Amino acid sequence: MSATDNKSNLITFTEAYSRALHDAMEMDASVIMLGEDIADEEGGGVFKVTKGLSTKFGKGRVRTTPISEQAIVGAAVGAALVGMRPVAEIMLMNFITVPMDQIVNHAAKLRFMSGGQTHVPLTIRTRTGAGQGTAGQHSDMLEAWFAHVAGMKVVIPSSPADAYGLMLGCIFDDDPCLFIEDAVTRTQTGPAPEKGVKIPLGKAHVVKPGKDVSVIGYGRALRDSLTIAEKLEGEGISVEIVDLRTV
């Protein structure tokens, strides 16, 4: 394969998120989206992940909402309970503190409180990440909070291919998932995924085998770990890298 072919097979994280949403909506008419400014009339989302989706699938399935995180998640929980597979976008992770009641006390618990008679196939997308000068209310990593919530699945991809596959895994899972997109890695590239292939949730992935030491991580930190592992290999230290994928 030529260098040109290799380059053409690369996509960014943002492109991977967008492809996953597009393909999910194409595969299943019950997949809908809710969030601030996500329709094309409003620019296709602040980060352009949803650009083109409302034009193709209609504003009935890609719904721009008021600036109310409680309303976004509350409506999405209700939609999930009646058979839809909603994807709710909370623009930035710090804003996810606003609908905590809807997430923790409703979405995460309804399957258990109903004795398994109902499911909440809800995906909440949000973005965060320090290192861009976005200040204190736009860059917190709060995944540890939600990892302690019974009934919630927390997903953070470390490559564009994983971003695509894990997004599909979340959307077609019958339990609520929090899908975290790292703002810093949004333009980084990696090999394109195979269309329609979901990555199962709750299973780690050995990115690099090694025999001397194991490094376990996720998201941006995992990419940094791979760089360090390459340097250590030059010193004769074999490093295994394990990607949790699901926190």
User: Exposed, middle or buried, 99 (CB in 10 Å: 0-12/13-18/19+)?
Assistant: buried
Which pairing describes strands 31-35 and 189-191: parallel, antiparallel, or unpaired? unpaired
User: Cα–Cα distance between 112 and 96 in angstroms, integer?
Assistant: 23
Cβ 155 vs Cβ 177: under 8 Å: yes
Helices (H), ranges, the chain: 3-8, 13-27, 53-57, 69-81, 100, 110-113, 143-147, 160-171, 219-233
Cβ 12 vs Cβ 186: under 8 Å: yes
31: tokens are 């997949």
Q: Give the SS3 label for residue 108.
A: coil
Per the listing, tokens 């990440």 go with 129
Per the listing, tokens 């194991």 go with 214
User: Cα–Cα distance between 183 and 50 in angstroms, integer?
Assistant: 15
Whether residue 138 lies in the annotated active site: yes
Which pairing describes strands 189-191 and 10-12: parallel, antiparallel, or unpaired? antiparallel
**Catalytic-role residue among 22, 106, 119, 138:** 138
The catalytic residues are: 138
